């Protein structure tokens, strides 16, 4: 029996799986608010009690995708006062084997198992058999990972590539970089290509006089806990579009395309590039416009190579749980 989880700062998805049923047929599943619990152990115990599985089934393995780096079997969750350690979880939960993996590593483990209903294809390309696969996931932050073929199966590799330096691709982006350099010691790609990044782009365009902020939007932004969905919605709403938001989203899409193309070149992702995270499904109409793929392929002499690379958007909101389950069932 496997217990798998996608552990986030806001919510945690947990599910039980059996090897016979596989990673797409959980025996029990629940989404719990992470912040209400003092630890992952207490959250797991609550899940098992609610599912009435604590005494009926013995858990042999557990695999948890966590929103943060995993080093030597230990992790600290971003936006939660939890410290998680594999050996401690094994002892306190009486589970023989517990494994932690980065949330992007979890998504990467799911990619070889995705089905057509899980993705939207932006470019079919011509994937190379067993070619390396790249994952770029703009959500609250910018996650990146990749998969390589080891002669029998794909192996996932974690990365913190989203924290590498932002490289502007045109004069407007160069001005954006200078604007952010006056505010941050290090301007990573995450600063401009994530849920944190879109408001930074918006603020730059507003303060530079690119377009005027309408009063109705200023009111919505003031009331919003998170400005990112407000900006994205105002950019895509055909009935009441805001040109300032349209421009901000266009810059965001171009930067995302360029970053996805950069990662594809760095790992030679001839097997394809997958866009994960919470933002791509929300801005899908913008990604389906030529702007994204043009930025993705604008790599000089390697344009033809990148034209052959398939590009997909992951639509399945529980792909990290699926990946944690796939990883756990293969332990």
Other CB atoms within a 10 A radius of the CB of residue 209 amount to: 7
Q: How far apart are CA 173 and CA 185, in angstroms?
A: 18
Lowest mean pLDDT among 53-57, 182-186, 269-273: 53-57
In CATH terms, the fold of domain 2-106+322-329 is: Nucleotidyltransferase; domain 5 (3.30.420)
Q: What is the DSSP string of 65-92?
A: EESS-EETTEEE-TTS--EEEHHHHHHH
pTM over 0.75? The answer is yes
CATH of domain 115-315: 3.40.367.20
Q: How far apart are CA 145 and CA 307, in angstroms?
A: 21
For residue 51, what pLDDT is reported?
A: 79
Can you say whether the dihedral through the CA atoms of 197, 104, 315, 48 is positive or negative? negative
Instruction: Determine whether 277 is exposed, middle or buried from the number of CB atoms within 10 Å of its CB (0-12, 13-18, 19+).
Output: buried
Strand order in the sheet with 83-85: 70-71, 74-76, 83-85
Do residues 145 and 154 touch, judged by C-beta distance below 8 A? no
For residue 245, what pLDDT is reported?
A: 98
Interval 273-298 mean pLDDT: 97
Interval 119-123 mean pLDDT: 98
Lookup result for tokens 């866009």:
275
Do residues 47 and 40 touch, judged by C-beta distance below 8 A? no
Mean pLDDT, all residues of the chain: 94
The phi and psi torsions of 190 (rounded to 5 degrees) equal: -60, -30
Among 74, 87, 68, 79, residue whose Cα is nearest residue 33 = 79
- Strand, helix or coil at 251? helix
Can you say whether the dihedral through the CA atoms of 164, 169, 174, 180 is positive or negative? negative
For residue 53, what pLDDT is reported?
A: 56
The pLDDT tens digits of the residues spanning 41-78 come to 999 999 988 876 544 568 999 999 998 889 999 998 87
pLDDT at residue 309 tops 70: yes
Query: Using 50, 70 and 90 to split pLDDT, how confident is the model at 8?
Result: confident
Which of 75-79, 156-160, 213-217 shows the highest mean pLDDT? 213-217
Instruction: Determine whether 169 is exposed, middle or buried from the number of CB atoms within 10 Å of its CB (0-12, 13-18, 19+).
Output: middle
Domain ranges of the chain: 2-106+322-329, 115-315
Among 192, 141, 187, residue whose Cα is nearest residue 295 = 192
The pLDDT tens digits of the residues spanning 74-90 come to 998 877 889 999 999 99
The pLDDT tens digits of the residues spanning 84-117 come to 999 999 999 999 999 999 999 999 999 999 999 9
Q: How far apart are CA 204 and CA 218, in angstroms?
A: 15
Interval 177-194 mean pLDDT: 97
**Domain 2-106+322-329 identical in fold to domain 115-315:** no
């Amino acid at each position: 029996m496997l217990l798998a989880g996608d552990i986030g700062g806001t919510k945690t998805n947990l599910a039980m799986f059996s090897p016979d049923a596989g990673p797409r047929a959980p025996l029990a599943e629940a989404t719990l608010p992470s912040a209400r619990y003092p630890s992952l152990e207490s959250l797991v115990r609550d899940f098992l009690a609610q599912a009435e599985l604590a005494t009926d089934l013995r858990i042999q393995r557990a695999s948890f995708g966590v929103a943060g780096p995993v080093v030597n079997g230990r992790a600290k969750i971003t936006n939660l006062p939890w410290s998680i350690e594999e050996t401690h979880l094994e002892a306190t939960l009486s589970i023989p084997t517990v494994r932690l993996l980065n949330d992007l590593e979890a998504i990467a483990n799911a990619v070889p198992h995705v089905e057509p209903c899980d993705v939207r294809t932006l470019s079919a390309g011509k994937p190379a058999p067993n070619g390396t696969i790249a994952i770029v996931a703009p959500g609250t932050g910018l996650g990146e990972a990749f998969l390589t073929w080891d002669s029998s199966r794909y192996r996932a590799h974690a990365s913190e590539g989203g924290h590498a330096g932002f490289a502007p691709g045109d004069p407007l982006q160069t001005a954006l970089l200078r604007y952010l350099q006056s505010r941050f010691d290090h301007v990573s790609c995450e600063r401009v290509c994530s849920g944190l990044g879109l408001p930074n782009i918006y603020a730059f365009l507003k303060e530079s006089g690119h377009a005027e902020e309408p009063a109705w939007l200023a009111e919505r932004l003031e009331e919003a806990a998170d400005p990112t969905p407000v900006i994205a919605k105002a950019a895509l709403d055909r009935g009441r579009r805001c040109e300032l938001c349209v421009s901000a989203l266009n810059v965001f899409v171009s930067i995302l395309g360029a970053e996805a193309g950069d990662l594809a070149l760095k790992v030679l992702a001839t097997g394809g590039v997958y866009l994960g995270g919470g933002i791509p499904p929300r801005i899908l109409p913008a990604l389906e416009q030529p702007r994204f793929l043009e930025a993705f392929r604008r790599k000089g002499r390697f344009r033809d190579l990148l034209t052959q690379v398939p590009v997909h958007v992951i639509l399945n909101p529980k792909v990290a749980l699926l990946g944690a389950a796939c990883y756990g069932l293969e332990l």
